[in-house]
Structure 1
Amino acid sequence: MKKVNLAEKLAQISAPWSPHIVASYNGNDVMVAKFQGEFPYHDHPDTDDLFLVLEGEVLLDVGNETHVLGPGELFVVPAGVRHRPRSVAEAKVMLIEPAGTPNTGDPATAVHKPTI
């Protein structure tokens, strides 16, 4: 058991859209990532997708709506709903999802999520 400093973990990440695992609980990965630019539209058929903005602003396109998320705001995309996160300037985000969930919804195109 130890505390996790999210700012220190985020300082270790340079590439956008590359989530890194910082903790695990009850079969879920707690991750941090930097967002900049657009991520592809995707869905997760079997799990919800939680986004918590720590710094910056994230635009989350869900269906025909765009949700603007600022620091301290979170959004849960229900399982099976197509969505696309994007950010004009760099944003820092915490994500929580079941361990092993591919970030693109497709294991063939997902990035590896290292633990830091």
Structure 2
Amino acid sequence: MSVVCLEEKLATFSDLWSPKIVGRLNDLDLMVVKVKGEFVWHSHPDTDDFFLVLKGRLTIEMRDGDVHLGPGELYVVPKGVEHRPVAAEETHLLLIEPKGTPNTGDAATAAVKTAI
């Protein structure tokens, strides 16, 4: 594997809520994504959900209270917890998930993840 520049990878696309795989660690996908607006309420029954803000601000809404993140901050949503990421401005994230995990928690409605 070669060095990966996340800023360069993020500059190669403009679509929102569509994670791009930039590397793999064991059976985990390392992904970058651009987000703005509201995502769907969802949960992941078998895995935690990792969010690291690279640029911008992200709110992770949960039924029991919201988590607010800025650049350099991360949060892990425990498996099975319903949540909805929301970004008022374009926000760039690093996501780490087990390979093949659907971003909506449901393979039928998930975005197709492509490697860049």
- Equivalents in 1 of 2:79, 2:39: separation in Å? 18
The 5 A counterparts of 1:30-109 are 30-109=30-109
Amino acid at match of 1:82: E
Give TM-score, length-normalised by structure 1. 0.98
Partner SS, residue 85 of structure 1: strand
* Structure 2 unmatched ranges of 5 or more: none
Q: Is the 8 A contact 1:13 1:33 kept in 2?
A: no
Partner SS, residue 65 of structure 1: coil
- Equivalents in 2 of 1:63, 1:32: separation in Å? 26
- Equivalents in 2 of 1:55, 1:5: separation in Å? 14
Partner SS, residue 100 of structure 1: coil
Per-residue deviation, residues 50-104 of structure 1 (Å, max 9, x unmatched): 0000000001102231111000000000111000001000000000000000000
Q: Which runs of 4+ in 1 moved over 4 A?
A: none
* Structure 1 unmatched ranges of 5 or more: none
Q: Percent identity?
A: 55
Q: Is the 8 A contact 1:18 1:111 kept in 2?
A: yes
Amino acid at match of 1:4: V
Partner SS, residue 66 of structure 2: strand
Aligned length: 116
Give TM-score, length-normalised by structure 2. 0.98
